[in-house]
Amino acid sequence: MKPWSQRPIEIRNLFNPAFCGLLMHRAIMGFRDKDARGMPFSLSLLILPLCLHQGSREILKAGNKSYLLKVVAEHPELLVGFAGRCTDTLPFTLEGLGVLMQYQALSVDDEGRLLPGQVKVIAAVNGSDETKACQRVAAYLGKQFALIGDRGTIYTTLGIRP
């Protein structure tokens, strides 16, 4: 990964580690609302590729009143290029998680589950319409992942291997 100052401005804006961390935190909080044990680390790798990709985000935003498995079944276009997006966003996911850890807004239990840390992240969803949509989709994904409850089912539904 290139040093911050050598990244193109578009990459710095879209993949800002603080923003990526905020999205991760929204998903972790959504997960924890449904499952107090916390989000498995492996599921955290799926958040950014679904939230930051405009086509996926729009489909998930429109289907947020439905179950994720149903939304994916009705919109197979979500799966096109998804594995590649997961690979491409992995460094940004890790940076976002690193920011959360640095500011103690994230903790990891002995089983590798991600939980909110000691420091609270602002609860209000603020920003532009696009950043608000990203945050809402992240929270939706966290809740849906917890409701599904099985990592294998989630990964298989999304057409990738853990």
Closest CA to 56 of 67, 65, 47: 47
Residues 75 and 136: their CA atoms lie apart, in Å, by 19
Residues 117 and 106: their CA atoms lie apart, in Å, by 4
Tens-digit pLDDT profile for the chain (162 aa)? 777 778 788 777 778 999 999 999 999 999 999 999 999 999 999 999 999 999 999 999 998 788 999 999 999 999 999 999 999 999 999 999 999 999 999 999 999 999 999 998 888 888 889 999 999 999 999 999 999 999 999 999 999 976
Give the single-character DSSP code of 130.
Answer: H
- Quick one: tokens of 134? 């990203």
DSSP of 4-17: GGGS-HHHHHHT-H
CB 98 within 8 A of CB 17: yes
For residues 16, 18, 20, 21, the Cα torsion angle rounded to the nearest 10 degrees is 160
- The SS3 of residue 143 is helix
Euclidean distance between the first and the last CA atom of the chain, given in angstroms as a whole number: 22
pTM of structure: 0.92
